[in-house]
């Protein structure tokens, strides 16, 4: 495809909606609260926000830059911008692989959201106590067929939208649901905060207990930051390549990051008061949201409508993220192997389906199959967010800081001098030094290297 014929996001709002659509997803509403619950609450939130500012903002800026300058998919981008014959394109390959792995477990949880739409429609949460709701979720998610059927349906929808293309498929679907999602999460938060005993949940969320911080809390917070902002794996490179040359990249970065962080915090404000009010264990893990929220709905006037709206929006939020994940793989296939979009999407989806079936079964009948001590589902989740994405982010920062040409980056960020770039020095310093060193230290710390060296 010639560069100037390349697909583009249409409007300014479309860019933000699509990139925010990628960022806001299950990561904010499902993953963030349970990671926070497992990592001790407020302390996690604090470190998370530091990671967002220090790593998230500069790495998203770098990814958009790499994408828009190269007008290429994740692999092609490094080949175009890197020195001839260098191996930087392997960073892109790792990104495509990450997209594939993330999809493997992400579509499973996305499928759960569809089941819960049906549960909401049939008013299944009404008048049930915590124990019954917990049992219902466990029975469903450890079952064999139902989760796989929902997962398959979800994947087919994603695939159809991707075949529809960038402007019609991706942009349109993202634009209308983001504001709606925000409104409903605020409403849920208001209900949760006013539950009896809810204040304890807020204390858990906002009062950092520093004794809870250890190396794995820091790694989890960093991994969550990458996961939530869709960074370190070429997703924002791919979307960056569709961003119009007139767009103000730095503003887009700020807007997307702000929306993403607000939604994660709001989701936690809806969840933790209810967790404490209903006596749910905050360290539940991946089941947390699916048990907590139905509890709130069961205790809300008009619970049926609220729950229906919520699960519809959650599945749409998941959809705009699965779209972006599949797009990483499809852009790579179409541009590097000259495949049609339809063929690329179908091949990629078939592979994801196989992985998704394995991940889904690992919740139930295959729960004793372990890879490095993890179930298949947990393995895919952990290897991507805690290793591949931060490693990808580290390499992307090094690429932007040491390989790309500084004046070209400045030109791209300022749209050839049109916009101010007062932040550039700070940005450049972070990608050259701070981000790589910080990520490396967090890795080494987790591996116990500092303890071993008695530092």
**Of residues 66, 235, 298, 352, which one binds ligand PFF by CB under 6 A?**
235
Which residue stretches of 339-416 are H helix?
341-361, 376-382, 389-398, 406-413
The least CB distance from residue 412 to ligand PFF, in Å, is: 22
**Of residues 17, 19, 26, 75, which one binds ligand PFF by CB under 6 A?**
26
Work out whether 256 is an interface residue with ligand PFF (CB under 6 A).
no
**Cβ-contact 61, 247 below 8 angstroms:** no
**Cβ-contact 103, 352 below 8 angstroms:** yes
Work out whether 233 is an interface residue with ligand PFF (CB under 6 A).
yes
Minimum CB distance to ligand PFF smaller for 114 or for 298? 114
Work out whether 22 is an interface residue with ligand PFF (CB under 6 A).
yes
Residue among 304, 349, 398, 425 at smallest CA distance from 78: 398
The least CB distance from residue 391 to ligand PFF, in Å, is: 14
3-state secondary structure of 352: helix
Minimum CB distance to ligand PFF smaller for 300 or for 326? 326
DSSP string of 136-175, one letter each residue = HHHHHHH-SHHHHHHHHHHHHHHHHHHHH-IIIIIIHHHH
The least CB distance from residue 69 to ligand PFF, in Å, is: 20
Distance CA 285, CA 38 (A): 7
**Of residues 14, 21, 27, 58, which one binds ligand PFF by CB under 6 A?**
27
Minimum CB distance to ligand PFF smaller for 25 or for 198? 25
Work out whether 28 is an interface residue with ligand PFF (CB under 6 A).
yes
- Give me Rg for the CA atoms of the chain: 21
Please identify, among the stretches 17-25, 68-76, 196-204, 420-428, the one whose residues bind ligand PFF according to the rule CB under 6 A.
17-25
Distance CA 132, CA 291 (A): 10
Site for ligand PFF in 306-335 (CB under 6 A): 321, 324-325
Cβ count near 244 (within 10 Å):
13
Distance CA 270, CA 289 (A): 10
Distance CA 208, CA 318 (A): 29
Work out whether 227 is an interface residue with ligand PFF (CB under 6 A).
yes
Work out whether 102 is an interface residue with ligand PFF (CB under 6 A).
yes
Please identify, among the stretches 227-235, 242-250, 265-273, 342-350, the one whose residues bind ligand PFF according to the rule CB under 6 A.
227-235
Work out whether 382 is an interface residue with ligand PFF (CB under 6 A).
no
Residues at the contact surface with ligand PFF, assessed by CB under 6 A: 22-23, 25-28, 99, 102, 227-228, 230, 233, 235, 321, 324-325
């Amino acid at each position: 495809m010639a560069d100037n014929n390349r697909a583009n996001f249409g409007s300014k709002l479309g860019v933000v909606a699509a990139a925010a659509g990628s960022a806001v997803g299950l990561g904010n509403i499902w993953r963030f609260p349970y990671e926070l619950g497992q990592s001790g609450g407020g302390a996690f939130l604090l470190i998370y926000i530091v990671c967002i500012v220090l790593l998230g903002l500069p790495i998203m800026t770098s990814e958009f830059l790499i994408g828009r300058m190269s007008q290429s998919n994740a692999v092609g981008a490094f080949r175009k911008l890197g020195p001839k014959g260098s191996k930087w394109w392997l960073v892109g390959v790792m990104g495509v692989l990450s997209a594939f792995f993330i999809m493997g477990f992400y579509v499973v949880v996305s499928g759960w959201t569809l089941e819960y739409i049906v549960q909401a429609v049939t008013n299944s949460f009404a008048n049930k106590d915590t124990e019954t709701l917990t049992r219902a979720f466990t029975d469903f998610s450890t079952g064999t067929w139902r989760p796989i059927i929902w997962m398959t349906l979800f994947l087919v929808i994603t695939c159809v939208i991707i075949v529809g293309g960038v402007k019609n498929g991706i942009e349109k679907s993202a634009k209308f649901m983001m504001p709606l999602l925000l409104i409903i999460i605020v409403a849920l938060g208001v209900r949760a905060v006013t539950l009896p005993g809810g204040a304890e949940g807020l204390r858990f969320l906002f009062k950092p207990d520093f004794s809870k911080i250890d190396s794995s809390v820091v790694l989890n917070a960093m991994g969550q930051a990458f996961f939530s902002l869709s960074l370190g794996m070429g997703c924002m490179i791919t979307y960056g390549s569709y961003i119009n040359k007139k767009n103000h990249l730095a503003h887009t970065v700020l807007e997307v990051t702000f929306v993403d962080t607000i939604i994660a915090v709001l989701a936690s404000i809806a969840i933790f008061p209810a967790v404490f009010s209903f006596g749910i264990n905050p360290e539940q893990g991946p089941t947390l949201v699916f048990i907590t929220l139905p509890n709130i709905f069961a205790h809300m006037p008009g619970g049926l409508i609220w729950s229906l709206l919520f699960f519809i929006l959650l599945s749409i939020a998941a959809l705009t993220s699965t779209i972006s994940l599949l797009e990483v793989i499809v852009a790579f296939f179409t541009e590097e192997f000259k495949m049609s979009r339809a063929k690329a999407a179908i091949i990629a989806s078939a592979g994801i389906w196989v992985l998704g079936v394995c991940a889904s079964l690992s919740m139930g009948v295959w729960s004793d199959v372990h890879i490095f001590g993890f179930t298949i589902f947990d393995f895919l989740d952990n290897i991507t967010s805690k290793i591949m994405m931060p490693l990808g982010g580290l390499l992307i920062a090094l690429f932007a800081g040491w390989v790309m040409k500084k004046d070209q980056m400045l030109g791209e960020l300022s749209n050839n001098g049109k916009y101010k770039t007062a932040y550039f020095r700070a940005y450049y310093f972070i990608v050259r030094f701070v981000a790589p060193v910080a990520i490396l230290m967090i890795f080494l710390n987790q591996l116990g290297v500092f303890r071993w060296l008695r530092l």
